[in-house]
Amino acid sequence: MTVRPFRIEVPQADVDDLRERLARTRWPVQQELPGERGIPVGRVRELTERWATSWDWRTWEARLDAFPQVVADIDGTRVHALHVRSADPDAVPLVLLHGWPGSVVEFLQVLGPLAEDFHLVVPSLPGFGFSGPTPDGGWTPERMARAVAELVHRLGYERYVVHGGDWGSHVGRDVARVDGGSVLGLHVTMTPGVDVSEDPAAAEAWERYGRDLAGYNKLQSTRPLSLAPALTDSPAGLLAWIAERFAEWTDPASDIDEDQLLANAAVYWFTRTGPSSAQIYWERQHAPTPEWARGVPTGVAVLPHDLARPPRTAMEAAVDLVSWTEFERGGHFPAMEIPDLLVGELRRFVRLVTP
């Protein structure tokens, strides 16, 4: 039942190895190829050059280590989290859940402002980053949710609020189901399992995702092991796989910090969790989709450039919907794209669901 302090300390040999591998990247032969076929090789080369030269892992390691961190052994694996206590001892605990291909790095711009008001618990999901690789399969969102809830309780919090996006929405939904008596409120920026067919615009966007943007999803849902050596052995390949998601899922007007994107990819590289994080897609395909928890007050933030815009009526039928926000800008990674708006939204939501 212990929780131990933790610091990120990547060996210098691993940092040097990354640079050497990037310098030796074997690039594809240039071809004239019309149409959209994935992230352009030229763009990946630009990011790789930056990763290998001006970008500095130690700077980002120090930024992460500036926040207190913990690890705990839960359900046979190590679970890591940033744990930042507010100066206010009576502050509400707020759990922030990332998805794929995100990590705790995703939240760096919002941690300082949110810690002014909340005790923050920011887990690396099991199989991701410093919570991985997991030693076994079966890590469905529900199993991850039970591990997250266990960690939060070990840290001494009886009641808490949860925010999640991408797979963090899945896990957050399941935290509300498995630990609903402790969850004061659930806030999400994605609504997995909700029918969008009644909204023509939402249905069209979701159809385009399935037709043009979900190749990674199909592969990781069916043959994740076939991809594992590439994600572990080639940093340029891992970067292309991750950077494509940021290129296609964000607001074109968003000013994504390239160095933060590279730090996020580096977390997957140094921890060798590209393969284990991909397994969540396979697990989802082979497990029933849970229902939402109707007894937990729920808030939804809809971003115009996210993968799907759920109909409000569908969410009203699925949850106790107490908050609905439609942003005018932003996409799939709000903590990186619109950190100021996300901080304001979470402050407002927590006030709404707490006494």
Q: What are the catalytic residues?
A: 166, 281, 332
In the chain, % helix, strand, coil (3-state, to 5) comes to: 50, 15, 35
Give 75: exposed, middle or buried? Use CB within 10 Å, 0-12, 13-18, 19+: middle
Q: DSSP H helical segments within 41-101, as ranges?
A: 41-52, 57-65
Distance CA 254, CA 260 (A): 14
Would you say 169 and 189 are in contact if contact means Cβ atoms under 8 Å apart?
yes
Which tokens is 8 given?
Answer: 């990120």
Q: Cβ distance 279 to 138 under 8 Å?
A: no
Residue 297, CB-side half-sphere exposure with 13 Å CA sphere: 15
Give the residue among 262, 267, 274 at the shortest CA–CA distance from 232: 274
Could you give the dihedral angle defined by the CA atoms of residues 253, 324, 92 and 293, in that order, rounded to the nearest 10 degrees?
-120
Short-list 26, 6, 5, 13, CA closest to 233? 26
- Asked if 145 and 174 count as a contact pair (C-beta separation under 8 A), the reply is yes
Rounded CA separation 274/267 (Å) = 9
